[in-house]
Amino acid sequence: MPRAVREQQMMDAAVRTFGQLGYRAASMDEIAELAGVSKPLVYLYLNSKEELFTACIRREAKALVEAVQAGVQPGLPADRQLWAGLRAFFTHTAENPDGWAVLHRQARTHGEPFATEVVVMRDEIVAFV
């Protein structure tokens, strides 16, 4: 299996595990099992639980920003663009509850450097709006 596909599987499993159990309660064993890989392979690809969590935050933040940006049609009046962006934001978070949990509940409450990653995402969305 190509590395990119395997890494995507691990990230999907990590987001689900972190989103449902929380950062502290999540284990690399659970993530590896859910991804269908060995624990050493997770460490080989993503180095540590901290780096894996940071990668999850970045991936989920990027997906949320892209969803908001895609939801806005540039030619519309400003108020309609704002509503479209809000709709895209809430649609994305409703469709990706584990990703939202990682961004909203987990990253913000587990200190640096995780909280900084969320600030970067928020600043990007605010600048876009």
Please report the pLDDT score of residue 36 as a whole number: 93
Please report the pLDDT score of residue 121 as a whole number: 81
Answer yes or no: are the C-beta atoms of 23 and 110 closer than 8 Å: yes
Q: How confident is the chain (129 residues) per 10-residue block, as mean pLDDT?
A: 88 96 93 94 90 92 94 90 93 96 76 76 81
3-128 classified as CATH 3.30.300.30: no
Q: Where are the domains of the chain?
A: 3-128
Answer yes or no: are the C-beta atoms of 107 and 93 closer than 8 Å: no
| Dist. CA 89–CA 16, nearest whole Å | 19
Distances (CA, A) of 15 to 54, 81, 116: 11, 30, 18
Whether a cis peptide bond, with omega within 30° of 0, leads into 113 is yes
